[in-house]
């Protein structure tokens, strides 16, 4: 889907040649009584009559006199918050998504100063409402809407915000697409190939390490998870160089378990199909690099994706086995279903070679985080106050929210082992925190944060599918670092 911007007032929007027109009407919109164009008149009358209100959120018209678009939908916006805008667009799109609607016009001219901040939530909502997964479902109807014209009060002033928002939308869509693919269509080798394809046109480099190279690095924890699968592991290294080589890069680490059975500690059968989403962290890193290819910020970024399956065959790691991580620390594998932290810990050790500005790992790591925060906010863990604040602020600005969780040293007590330097799990209590404490043991001398996206990376039920989160948060953080807004000193 292609987006473009155009300076349009409501009178000009009425003459826009599109298949459908979406007009966003804020609650406190002041439509001048002198305005005689058909859109202004209808909006003014509908607001006065209560036909556009909190109770009546949309109003549709067909072949409205004086309007070129055959279909017009007015959407009431009670305020200009991201949540309200996305809901308004979603409601309107239910009426607009009709056969033959290939070009949509969206009018935001009445919003005033918040118009720039509204672009990303509006564009993300349009993408979400029209996204269709077709890769392994030939019967699914592909997205018909292929062009959106955003009518703004002053388009040139919105150009940078528009370009950054569009880059984010592209990143989210790529993350969704790959997270949605079933495990046999999104193997570690498949992820490696898409990473290579991303880098070629964008000019950034991709390196893919296989089992021999990973063994040479001493990534014993990562190899232990992969050893029960017939699919060979892949360790993917992406490098985006937008600044001088001397500038320390931001390192993003994405958990890439392309299917998680739980290994020998096998999961219950119910909803196990959703464990194809266990590479949501990896998908988000790929999505961020897709966004970087279009936004081109002036900074350096490294993406690390340890990817494998977690399977229960005769070679699989067993509960009680002790493995040696790349850091040299030994780990007693008390539960093979706590595998994400095993592949991440070696990737975090590898990240040190880049002498990073900051490191953020992203993982669908614990069910405990779902219990704690649900599907609204991702869990944020960091011992660095400045980094945690910068990530939280990026989440607020991008409307991709997170919540900082504690990392008191006392939470690490349960990780003690009689047979290794640590166990890979503690008790059930505070499971998301003890998982983060495990990862923290591999981050000495680095500014590090961990995002647990187990509750936010996908939806279950009738709307089952990837959300593409936290691509907006991560992309915004990188833009903030590049612009100097994220100050960590």
Cβ neighbors of 14 (< 8 A, separation 6 or more) are 37, 38, 39, 66, 67, 68
In contact, 445 and 368? CB cutoff 8 Å? no
**420 HSE (CA, 13 A, CB side):** 20
Please identify which of the residues 97, 143, 147, 267 carries the catalytic annotation.
267
**Residues β-bridged to residue 465:** 459
Can 147 be counted among the known catalytic residues? no
Residues near 371 by beta carbon (within 8 Å), at least 6 away in sequence: none
d(CA 189, CA 181): 14
For residue 44, the tally of other CB atoms under 10 A from its CB is 18
CA distance 418 to 438: 16
Provide the H-helix boundaries in 374-430. 385-398
Q: Could you give the CA distance from residue 335 to residue 394 in angstroms, rounded to a whole number?
A: 34
Alpha helices in 181-295 (DSSP H): 188-202, 211-217, 220-226, 280-295
**Are 123 and 116 within 8 A, CB to CB?**
no
Cα(128)–Cα(336) distance, rounded to whole angstroms?
35
296 is catalytic: no
485: left (phi over 0), alpha (psi -120 to 50) or beta: alpha
286: tokens are 């790929």
Phi, psi of 297 (to 5 degrees): -70, 160
Q: Partners of 332 in the beta sheet?
A: 322, 423
Alpha helices in 218-279 (DSSP H): 220-226
Measure the CA–CA gap between 469 and 473, rounded to whole angstroms: 8
Active-site residue, from 86, 234, 341, 447: 341
**Cα separation of 375 and 364, whole Å?**
12
**Catalytic residue positions?**
267, 341
């Amino acid at each position: 889907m292609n987006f473009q911007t155009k300076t349009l007032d409501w009178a000009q929007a009425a003459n826009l040649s599109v298949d459908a027109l979406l007009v966003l009407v804020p609650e406190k919109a002041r439509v001048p009584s002198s305005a005689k164009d058909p859109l202004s008149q209808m909006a003014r009358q509908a607001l006065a009559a209560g036909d556009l209100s909190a109770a009546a959120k949309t109003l549709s018209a067909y072949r409205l006199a004086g309007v070129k678009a055959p279909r017009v939908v007015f959407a009431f916006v009670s305020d200009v918050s991201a949540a309200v805008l996305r809901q308004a667009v979603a409601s309107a799109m239910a009426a607009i998504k009709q056969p033959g609607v290939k070009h949509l016009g969206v009018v935001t001219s009445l919003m005033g100063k918040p118009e720039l901040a509204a672009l990303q939530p509006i564009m993300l909502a349009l993408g979400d409402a029209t996204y269709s997964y077709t890769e392994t479902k030939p019967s699914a109807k592909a997205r018909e809407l292929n062009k959106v014209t955003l009518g703004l009060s002053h388009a040139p002033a919105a150009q940078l915000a528009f370009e950054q928002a569009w880059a984010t939308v592209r990143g989210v869509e790529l993350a969704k697409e790959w997270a949605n693919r079933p495990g046999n269509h999104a193997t570690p080798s498949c992820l490696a190939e898409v990473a290579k394809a991303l880098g070629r046109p964008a000019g950034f480099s991709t390196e893919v390490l296989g089992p021999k190279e990973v063994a040479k690095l001493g990534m014993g924890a990562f190899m232990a998870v992969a050893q029960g699968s017939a699919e060979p592991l892949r360790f993917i290294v992406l490098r985006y160089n937008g600044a001088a080589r001397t500038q320390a890069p931001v390192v993003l680490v994405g958990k890439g378990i392309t299917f998680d059975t739980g290994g020998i500690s096998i999961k219950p059968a119910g909803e196990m199909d959703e464990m194809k989403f266990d590479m949501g962290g990896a998908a988000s890193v790929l999505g961020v690099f897709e966004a970087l290819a279009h936004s081109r910020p002036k900074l350096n970024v490294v993406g690390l994706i340890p990817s494998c399956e977690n399977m229960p065959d005769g070679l699989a790691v067993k509960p009680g086995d002790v493995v040696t991580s790349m850091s040299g620390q030994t780990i007693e594998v008390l539960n093979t279903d706590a595998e994400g932290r095993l592949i991440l810990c070696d990737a975090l050790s590898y990240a040190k070679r880049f002498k990073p500005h900051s490191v953020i790992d992203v993982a669908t790591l614990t069910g405990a985080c779902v219990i704690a925060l649900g599907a609204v906010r991702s869990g944020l863990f960091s011992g660095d106050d400045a980094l945690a604040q910068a990530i939280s602020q990026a989440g607020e600005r991008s409307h991709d929210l997170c919540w900082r969780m504690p990392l008191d040293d006392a939470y690490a007590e349960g990780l003690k082992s009689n047979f290794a330097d640590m166990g890979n799990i503690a008790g059930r209590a505070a499971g998301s925190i003890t998982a983060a404490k495990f990862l923290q043991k591999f981050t000495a001398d680095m500014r590090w944060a961990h995002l647990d996206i187990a509750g936010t990376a996908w939806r279950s039920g009738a709307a089952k599918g990837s959300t593409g989160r936290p691509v907006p948060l991560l992309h915004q953080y990188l833009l903030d670092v590049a612009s100097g807004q994220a100050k960590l000193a």
